[in-house]
Amino acid sequence: MTDYQQALQTYLEATNTHDFDNVEKVLDDNAIYWFSDKTCVNRDEIRSYFENAWNLIQDEIYAATDVKWIAVAQNSATCIYTYTWEGFYQNAFRSGSGRATNVFVKNGNGFWKLKHEHLSSNP
């Protein structure tokens, strides 16, 4: 597994801890998220969005399938994938999926960080 592939895996694992402090460790300082219903351009907005989602969907498990790395360079890597989620929403088990794009960048310390995530529903 390459370093940037490991960065995606680490990000997914951090997300599934439901603790934003873990997610924050893999984010670039200037990360930007495009969700279907909101754009988040700073840490406070991103934290709030994640924590709200974890409160709405209890015991959520987030995963990536069909990952394709569509652009890879020395200091950046971009992947697309199908995201899946499952958990309890309004006391009923629910699941869903959509499309994701993630852009990772290698920082000055040589660590891969998530710079951008764009999530959307399936067509």
pLDDT in tens, 63-105: 999 999 999 999 999 999 999 999 999 999 999 999 999 999 9
For the segment 25-60, what is each residue's pLDDT rounded down to a tens digit? Answer: 999 999 999 998 999 999 999 999 999 999 999 999
Taking the C-alpha atoms of 46, 20, 53 and 83 in order, what is their torsion angle to the nearest 10 degrees?
Answer: 90
Residue 64: closest CA among 78, 50, 81, 86? 81
Q: Is 108 a residue whose pLDDT tops 90? A: no
Q: Please give the C-alpha separations between residue 71 and each of 68, 74, 115, in angstroms, as whole numbers.
A: 9, 10, 14
5's tokens: 């592939």
